[in-house]
Amino acid sequence: MSFYPSTVYPGAMADASESSTLWFERLYAYLRLPFWAGALLFGVGLPIAIALMAIAAGDLWGHLPLVIVVAIYGGMGLFTQVAARTARRRVEGIDEYTKSMRQGNPLNIGPLYSRRMAFLTFVGLELVVRPLYIFYGLSPGFTLAQRILVGLPFIYVDLFAYTFVWVLAYSFYAIYKVGQMELSLKPFTEDHSLGLNPLGRLALMLTGLYLLFLLFNLLPNVLSGILAAPILAFQTFLGLLAFAFFFLPLLPLRQKLNRTRRDLHAQLSPRLTRLYATINEESEGGIQRELVNELTLLKAMEEDIHQIYRWPFDTGVVVRLSVIVFSTTAITLSQVIATFFGL
């Protein structure tokens, strides 16, 4: 049994349990470890061991509290494994849920499990982000060699963190792809979201995981008391991106909802117009009960059409998301201002 993705050869079947899991899940299965044990050992225990070796190699015993910071950052390694696994399962659930709605159109979620794409995401983001923390995330007394050594356990944890980023990105993309397809929507009389609410809930859950990821990422700097303005500004920017990550994948679904509203109104409006004209003609001699009943029915239908969501989620969701994003961003921004002005 290998923890690498299975290859399907002619006449052979790939093991679905291997090809439909993330690389670290396959690794733990290969080592015959329960997921929680593997996540703790590789996500928290190993970073601490790497930190101790880095401290010994760099003669940094005076900075032993770094181990505590690494252990907390290792908590992000544990969190991102659980979060990536949760996101994977939710996307698989959405794939199954929308199968009948997609009218035979396939939703390719295979890249979600890709070890190669997770590794490329790790390399790309590490080259961009890690120098920022190496040069601004430590006190000025560290040499460049010591900064690199101290960064090793964080780089290791980032292997899990950026796997989560890949899963998150592809999950948002999967929501967008579903929205791009021709869908067989539920009748508005059964569901005011036309059956699209689970996609909106998935986008909200992914955004919440993303915000928790940002908090974990900032925590080591908060605990060490090193809050350089470039790092805080970068974190603020990432926090504001939460709105884009939430809304952009849902735009095609919003278009479907609004198009359905317009089409239903277009069907109903001529009937209402003719009915009002008939009522105006007969108003002097009294209005027939049949006309009143028909008007009541059409107005009720119009009210039901107005109840169709403009987005595939409850409006209260946007309020809660805005409060979370703005509160976390405000806290980070206040730290930026305080650091910049030396307050």
- Annotated domain spans of the chain: 34-258+309-341
pLDDT in tens, 216-256: 887 776 766 666 777 777 877 888 888 888 889 999 999 99
Per-residue pLDDT at 315 = 64
Per-residue pLDDT at 189 = 82
Residue 110 has pLDDT above 80, yes or no: yes
Instruction: Report the candidate in 122, 107, 108, 97 with the shortest Cα–Cα distance to residue 23.
Output: 122
- Report the pLDDT averaged over residues 292-307: 83
Distance CA 175, CA 97 (A): 12
Mean of all residue pLDDT scores within the chain: 80
Residue 331 has pLDDT above 70, yes or no: no
Stretch among 139-148, 296-305, 328-337 having the lowest mean pLDDT: 328-337
**If pLDDT is split at 50, 70 and 90, which confidence band does 293 have?**
confident
Distance CA 220, CA 150 (A): 12
Q: Which residue has the higher pLDDT, 15 or 31?
A: 31
Residue 338 has pLDDT above 60, yes or no: no
Whether the model clears a pTM of 0.95, i.e. scores above it, the answer is: no
Match 């090193």 to its residue by tokens: 226
List the Cα angle 233/237/238 in 5-degree steps: 120
Q: Which pairs from 125-134 meet CB under 8 Å and 24+ separation?
A: 125/158, 125/162, 125/165, 126/155, 126/158, 126/162, 129/234, 130/154, 130/155, 130/158, 132/230, 132/231, 132/234, 133/221, 133/231
